[in-house]
Amino acid sequence: MPAGHDVTELLDDWSRGDRDALDRLLPLVYAELRRIAARQLRHERAGHTLQPTALVHEAYLRLVEQRNVEWQNRAHFFGVAAGVMRRILVDHARRQTAQKRGDGVQRVSLEHIAELPSANQIPVLALDHALTRLEKLDAGLAQIVELRVFGGLTIDEAAHLLNVSPSTAKRDWRTAKAWLTRELASESQS
Amino acid sequence: MTWAPTADRWQRVRRLFEAAIERPVPERSAFVSAAVAGDETLRGEVEAMLAADAAGAALSEQWPVASESLLAELRIAFSTVRVGSASSPGLTAGNRVGNYDVVAPLGAGGMGEVYRAHDARLGRDVAIKILPHAFTTHPERLARFEREARVLAALNHPHIGGIYGIEEAGTAPALVLELVEGVTLADHLKEGRPDIEEALTIARQVADALSAAHDKGIVHRDLKPANVKITPAGVVKVLDFGLAKADGDGATPELAHSPTITVTATRDGRLLGTAAYMSPEQARGKTVDKRSDIWAFGCVLYETLSGRRAFDRETVSDTLAAILEREPDWRMLPPATPASVRRLLQRCLEKDVSRRLRDIGDAGLELDDAIGRLGSRSFPRRVFDLGRERRSAALAGIIIVSTVLGITLLWRAWAVRPGFPDRWQPTFTQITSQSGLEWFPSLSPDGKWVVYGGDAEGNRDVFLQSTTGQTPIDLTTDSIDDDDQPAFSPDGERIVFRSSRDGGGIFVMGRTGEAVRRLTRRGFKPTWSPDGREIAFTTENADLDPQNTVGLSSLWVVNVASGEERQLGNIDAVLPSWSPHGQRIAYTTRGAIAGSTRLDIWTIDRSGKNPIAVTTDGARNWNPVWAPDGRYLYFVSGRGGPINLWRVPIDQTSGKTEGPPEALTTPSPFVAHIAISADGTRIAYSSILRSRNIQKLAIDPATGIPRGEPTWITTGSRLWANPDPSSDGKSLVFYSSVQPEGDLYVARADGTGLRQLTSGAESIDRMPRWSPDGQWIAFHSIRGKDQFLWKIRADGSELQQLSPLADAIYPTWSPDGSRIAVLMGAGIGHRENDVYIFDPSRPWKDQAPDVIPPPAGSPDEFVVNSWSPDGALLAGQAGLAAHGILTYSLRTRRFDRLTDFGGYPVWLPDSRHVMFVSGGRDFSVVDSRSRKVQKVFSVERDIIGPPQVTRDGREAYFSRRVTEGDIWLLTANPPVSR
């Protein structure tokens, strides 16, 4: 295979049906996102987490602003980025959890704990687990969740990417949300 | 319990759920009951889904926030990553391509695989290059490439690698090229730096090749040492012309323009490659033309002379950031580099494409002259011995001053001339000279008066002054609150301003300060509509460094008579300005990213519709102000270096720009807050001067309370910081953040005897800390993308790296000098955020560091900063952002939180009291036993850095940043904008 592709070319190839393009694209986007994320996250306070959709949007804007990437490529890009974002966030969450378990040192009494994440945020790991289960049960639903939640796609974009009608995508999204809500609720009770 | 239905079961639940939600809520239960036909489990499952549906409507909205600086980097990363892969060659020996027999692979370059092949007919070897995939999928690209190849083939230039033809290799097109024997310039440079004459001779031939190609309208697009070959006979040949993404003719701006970085995926997924020769406009993804080649030529010339890349960092994104923001380290050029060549380099490596050398032919002539002047003087072929290296480094240090001067003068000479058309005959007059910061001037319509915000009276007040006089009148002298950002009404009778009085807001008063009345309860930077009936303002403030730190700043308009407010659009806006015919408001929009310095100018219709960008390059464009005739928008911009005055022609009705921005360069190093008189002949602005110098404060060793006022140890514009006194109190070490940032300096404690301790553009050395015996200085140094721990002797010898682990910061010596405590950040090879204590006199492999994990249960790591004189305690701050003071007992191995604010604590001699800085304004002392905090020193408007205290506790040293601003008046004749 000749060397020297860029992201848009690969997206282009992919959108025209070249599945290999995705295989080539994904690890590279992933590596770069991950490297950047790792570097930034180390300076994050624990109370903050990434906003994945903003991140992906920004990355995409960079492509779109300057390059007139066609509309369907937008969805494709987000499709790729959604999966990447999910992995980055999960890895990060895992590391943080491991770290918290890892130190056996006496806690300092701190009033600042109040700054920890607010209760209504969905833990990344729990969502990831639930999504993994949904993937086994109903891959299509899991896909739309990943696109919406981690990639920030609109219903219409997700519909386009999944090759379904917007009304179908909307219904699927609603069903998936209900399933996840149920799943996450039952998990937190167990 | 999680619910684990079978796939069939789930599909049933799903169908029922989806059918149910189509129905009105009250009917759903009945529907489900009927549909499940007695299957109560199924009914329960569907009901659970319906309940979850009702409860979980906000699922996707619950996503967390923050970390947006990351986005800035992503921008660069995504625009530039080119993906290649370490793939196996597609051809092997014995394959035929056209009439050529493949002999062996020559290696895979970024642009495709290359093979040696034999041409049996002509009995010669050729190189065959398989073209990148891009060419096969874009016929128009291929066609253009073929066209260029034909032109080049016809050119037959001695310094351009020949092109023999194009063949098909399987499905991919292949180029048949002259096989140039010899080494590439890249490899040649690896052997050592050529002498100046050789370097110039090589560059001369490269310029020649470029010149010939440019004359035929062909741009190389990917010039770099690896594409320059030197034959055994010493002839230079430039290879791979036009190969880099030969794409459309500019009519279709596509991704293909920019990336000339070749990135190879390695097994561990890391991206390798170099963007080092990309021009700033390429890095920004803009169209490439021959001036990008000129930039690349500058990079090649710099590298050939200095042996180092002009812009090189460990990662692609860091390299690109350097290209966009940094100057090359001119000190790396050999001292004997002729001044004309230095100038040439600067002109080639001018970031603003419009100021860059226009014609590579000029470079050729310049080099000819330089080579001629070098004449028969001989240079040592290579500098092998270290002593010589050292001497030249010292020499380089000496000439830095003259080089810097050279740049400044050149820049001036260059900028001022094209900046102001001759007919302008601009004069510049400084009209305020109070101490402190005078800014936000506004001119009365007749141009005779100026109002501005100033802080000469202690707090910020609005001052009125004649533009020809020197005596300011304080219009808000009665107010103890801050009054600022005044603006004359269009009829000159009233002044609107921002005040922090009574909770803050926008206020209006008569032009001599009478009849103050409140207009709004919030807002900043008010600007009048031309009819004087309305005032636009923004919800957040911006003064000198508009940055997005608090989120959106929205744009509002208030009716002056009724006080009614309305929001314009849903935009981020600061520093608004109303157009003269009233239809549009110009404003500055900040990067969407917190902390981003990306700034652009937009305009929006007064109805709040139709926001349009005026600038899109993010080059710190801010503070737009309309010319009185509405034909230009003036603004300040950091494009091309210091923040200076620019303007862009614009249609005030549509907001569309009508040409490129042009520079109107003033003599000020930093221009802010423009105001234009109604007749357009005068522009007032604030000229900002920033400095940071070291101060000494005599203190009581027991309490930290000052004994007298601080005194200045350094002066000038070098932006000194991080001072650390030696334990005998006789010397100081500190660093300078003037670009290139991060060299350490040593001086006597009174600031005399200044000498440079470390140098190098590739490293940023910070936080120097003197060892207790006064022999060593430990510091952390950013080299590449990570920070490492180093030490050096105070006399500048024996520079050595203390630890191979990345991200070791804040070295803190034990009082006996036998140990160093250091925070290990997120680097590779160690756990994040532990503090290591190790023996700096032993090699790293022999270390068994004592590891202190970060405080449990706290979101912040322990940033160690000071070791108590009795050796028992460490003091540090919570988190890099300084969320309070912590101590750590080495005996009990426990943390103790002393305060919930402040950072950078240092122990006083009693090992009990700790002095620290908070908010950049206060020094406080906390008793580590009682936790009682006492503020001991404050500054009003400056910013003070972390203190370091001498061993006897009698003196504290710290940096103090001062911002001064004076109002200047630019008078132009004939008028500025007619």
Residue of A nearest to B6 (CA): A137
Instruction: Render B51-90 in DSSP notation, one character per residue.
Output: HHHHHTTTGGGG------HHHHHHHHHHHH-EEEE-PPPS
Q: What is the pLDDT of residue A24?
A: 57
How far CA B322 is from CA of B314, B451, B590, B783, in Å, comes to: 11, 40, 22, 13
User: 10 Å Cβ neighbour count for B23?
Assistant: 13
Q: Is the pLDDT of residue B477 over 90?
A: no
Contact B133 A35 (CB under 8 A): no
Q: Are B799 and B757 in contact, with CB atoms under 8 Å apart?
A: no
pLDDT confidence band for A4 (50 / 70 / 90): very low
Handedness of CA B400, B401, B406, B407 (dihedral sign): positive
Most confident range, picked from A31-45, B590-604, B950-964: B950-964
- Stretch B477-490: mean pLDDT, rounded? 90
pLDDT confidence band for A183 (50 / 70 / 90): confident
Q: Are B737 and B719 in contact, with CB atoms under 8 Å apart?
A: yes
Q: What is the pLDDT of residue B624?
A: 95
Q: What is the pLDDT of residue B137?
A: 55
- Stretch A20-35: mean pLDDT, rounded? 54
Based on the residue annotation, tell me whether B786 is a catalytic residue of this protein. no
Residue B221 gets the label, from left (phi > 0), alpha (psi -120 to 50) or beta, of left
d(CA A55, CA B796): 45
CB-based contact, B248 to chain A, within 8 Å? no
**What CATH class is the domain B702-962?**
mainly beta
| Distance between A39 CA and the closest CA of chain B, angstroms | 8
ipTM over the 0.85 cut-off: no
Q: Are B862 and B854 in contact, with CB atoms under 8 Å apart?
A: yes
SS3 A167: helix
CATH of B424-689+965-971, one of 2.60.260.20, 3.40.50.720, 1.10.357.10, 2.120.10.30: 2.120.10.30
User: pTM for this one?
Assistant: 0.47
Q: What is the pLDDT of residue B826?
A: 61
Q: Residues 48 to 77 of A: which have CB under 8 A from any B CB?
A: 48-55, 58-63, 65-69
Which CATH code is given to the segment(s) B85-382?
1.10.510.10
Suggest the residue from A33, A97, A108 to mutate for an interface test with chain B (most B CBs closer than 10 A): A108
Residues in Cβ contact with B693 at an 8 Å cutoff, skipping those fewer than 6 apart: B712, B713, B714, B715, B716, B720, B959, B960, B962
Q: What is the pLDDT of residue A108?
A: 26
Tell me which H or E stretch contains B371: helix B360-374
Q: Are B874 and B868 in contact, with CB atoms under 8 Å apart?
A: yes
Write down the catalytic residue from B101, B195, B222, B329.
Answer: B222
- Stretch B811-818: mean pLDDT, rounded? 94
Q: What is the pLDDT of residue B74?
A: 36
d(CA B234, CA A21): 43
CB-based contact, A167 to chain B, within 8 Å? no
Q: Is the pLDDT of residue B609 over 50?
A: yes
SS3 B322: helix
Q: Residues B642-700: pLDDT tens digits?
A: 788 888 999 988 999 998 888 887 777 789 999 998 888 889 999 988 788 899 999 99
d(CA B38, CA B589): 62
Suggest the residue from A1, A5, A6, A103 to mutate for an interface test with chain B (most B CBs closer than 10 A): A6
* Neighbour-count burial of A14, counting CB atoms closer than 10 A to its CB (0-12 exposed, 13-18 middle, 19+ buried): buried
Give CA angle at B808 (B807, B813), nearest 5°. Answer: 170
Q: What is the pLDDT of residue B163?
A: 79
- Classify strands B662-663 and B671-676 as parallel, antiparallel or unpaired: unpaired
| Among the ranges given (A36-50, B387-401, B806-820), the one the predictor scored with the smallest mean pLDDT | B387-401
- Stretch B439-445: mean pLDDT, rounded? 94
Instruction: Render B575-588 in DSSP notation, one character per residue.
Output: EEEE-TTSSEEEEE
| Among the ranges given (A12-16, B332-336, B775-779), the one the predictor scored with the smallest mean pLDDT | A12-16
d(CA B621, CA B701): 48
Q: Is the pLDDT of residue B703 over 90?
A: yes
| Among the ranges given (B189-198, B509-518, B546-555), the one the predictor scored with the smallest mean pLDDT | B546-555
Q: Are B782 and B767 in contact, with CB atoms under 8 Å apart?
A: no
Contact B60 A182 (CB under 8 A): no
Q: Which of B63, B785, B807 sits opposite A51 (nearest CB)?
A: B63
For all residues of chain A together, what is the average pLDDT? 60
Residue B604, phi then psi, degrees to nearest 5: -140, 145
Q: Is the pLDDT of residue B879 over 80?
A: no
pLDDT confidence band for B827 (50 / 70 / 90): low
Q: Residues B718-742: pLDDT tens digits?
A: 778 889 999 888 999 998 866 556 6
In angstroms, the first-to-last Cα distance of chain A is 51
Q: Is the pLDDT of residue B439 over 90?
A: yes
Torsion on CA atoms B390, B393, B397, B403, rounded to nearest 10 = 160
pLDDT confidence band for B868 (50 / 70 / 90): very high
d(CA B701, CA B967): 43
Chain B residues with CB under 8 Å of A5 CB are 82-84, 132-134
Q: Is the peptide bond before B105 cis (omega within 30 degrees of 0)?
A: no
